[in-house]
Amino acid sequence: MTMQIGWELYRTFLGVLQEGSLSGAARALNLTQPTVGRHVSALEEALGLALFTRSQAGLLPTDAALALRSHAEGMHITAASLERVARGFGEGVRGTVRISASEVVGVEVLPPILAALQQVHPDLKVELVLSNKIQDLVRREADIAVRMTSPQQEVLLATRVGNVVLGLHAHKAYLDRRGSPASVAELTQHSLIGFDQETPFLRSARSLLSPWTRDNFVLRCDSDLGQMALMRAGAGIGICQVALAKRDRDLVCVLPQKFSFELATWVAMHEDLRGSPRCRATFDALVRGLRLYVR
């Protein structure tokens, strides 16, 4: 096995894995299909391994290719992080910062904060990753993350911005049609909106709200945004952030004295980025903006 394997071969290998074909990888990487084929053949020869087998469905990865995938993804993440850091050098706040946040926070809360940040620092570019999966800051999948759980890694710089309060809500049209539950027990007589897959949040909510189980959900959706849309459409009763519900005068808090749930909210980044002007400015803006939001 040669020890001098160019990164471009691994980049192409990862592209073929993600796209499932030489032609798809060529389009995604802006290369020609023959070039992609040569890269794959060169990598197979250098490693002494067969990485793909041909089928009617396209290229199928071998066990060896699947075992290498996470390493190639790690190289891709590192390369993207390297590029962001390099472009951030120079005077002033400039370059690209990658922010990870949950769907609902990224769509409903962060946009005005980021818009104000960009007005102050017009040379700053932002990549906003919307996912309920916790992005790994240690591996540099993101530069900064807004999290609803306390960061555990010692190498992270984290600031707690406060608690996001959750409550039961429904559109007033739904409550006019079905009536308001007078007790927690009466929730089972209503159309409840909840998750399809079991989540840590669902388990925590169930400990405070016994009817909040998958079997009782008439409408199931693993997207927080999807659940919000269902509530706004008058489909039933669901859980959402109290601050978000207050923005919509048609959303009514249900059983506020019986159920309230708080999520500690943090802004975190790798401590190595403390000296980065682009990351420091973004981190501080997120902390300020989210503190105003949770208040």
- The strand ranges marked E within 52-92 are 52-55, 58-61
pLDDT over 90 percentage in the chain: 53
**Domain of 64: which CATH number?**
1.10.10.10
User: What's the pLDDT score for residue 134?
Assistant: 65
Give yes or no for a contact between 194 and 202, defined as CB atoms under 8 angstroms apart. yes
Q: Give 174-212 pLDDT, tens digit per residue.
A: 999 999 999 999 999 999 999 998 877 778 788 888 899
Q: Give 97-143 pLDDT, tens digit per residue.
A: 999 999 999 999 999 999 999 999 999 999 999 987 765 666 678 88
Question: What are 215's two structure tokens?
Answer: 């079997």
More confident of the two residues 154 and 192: 192
Give yes or no for a contact between 97 and 84, defined as CB atoms under 8 angstroms apart. yes
The tally of domains found in the chain comes to 3
Pair (239, 254) in one structural domain? yes
226 phi and psi angles, rounded to 5 deg: -60, -40
Pair (273, 144) in one structural domain? yes
Rounded to 10 deg, the angle between the 22-29 and 7-19 helix axes is: 120
Whole-prediction pTM value? Answer: 0.69
Report yes or no on 279 lying in a domain.
Answer: yes
Pair (171, 223) in one structural domain? yes
Pair (188, 235) in one structural domain? yes
- With 80 as the cut, is the pLDDT of residue 92 above it? no
Pair (104, 145) in one structural domain? yes
Nearest-10 Cα torsion for 40, 45, 48, 53: 40
- With 80 as the cut, is the pLDDT of residue 56 above it? no
Report yes or no on 50 lying in a domain.
Answer: yes
- With 60 as the cut, is the pLDDT of residue 290 above it? yes
User: What's the pLDDT score for residue 183?
Assistant: 94
Question: Which residues have a Cβ under 8 Å from the Cβ of 270 and sit 6 or more positions away?
Answer: 137, 138, 140, 143, 155, 156, 157
Q: How confident is the model at residue 79 (pLDDT cuts 50, 70, 90)?
A: confident
Report yes or no on 90 lying in a domain.
Answer: no
Residue where one domain finishes, among candidates 39, 60, 85:
85
Report yes or no on 2 lying in a domain.
Answer: no
Q: Strand, coil or helix: what is 41?
A: helix
**Domain of 289: which CATH number?**
3.40.190.10
Q: How confident is the model at residue 233 (pLDDT cuts 50, 70, 90)?
A: very high
Pair (259, 269) in one structural domain? no
Pair (149, 279) in one structural domain? yes
Report yes or no on 129 lying in a domain.
Answer: yes
User: What's the pLDDT score for residue 91?
Assistant: 62
Report yes or no on 208 lying in a domain.
Answer: yes
Q: Strand, coil or helix: what is 268?
A: strand
User: What's the pLDDT score for residue 81?
Assistant: 73
**Domain boundaries, position 130:** 95-160+265-294
Report yes or no on 288 lying in a domain.
Answer: yes
Question: What are 39's two structure tokens?
Answer: 């890269």
Report yes or no on 63 lying in a domain.
Answer: yes
C-alpha 229/C-alpha 219 separation (Å) is 12
- With 70 as the cut, is the pLDDT of residue 89 above it? no
Pair (51, 22) in one structural domain? yes
User: What's the pLDDT score for residue 99?
Assistant: 93
Pair (144, 76) in one structural domain? no
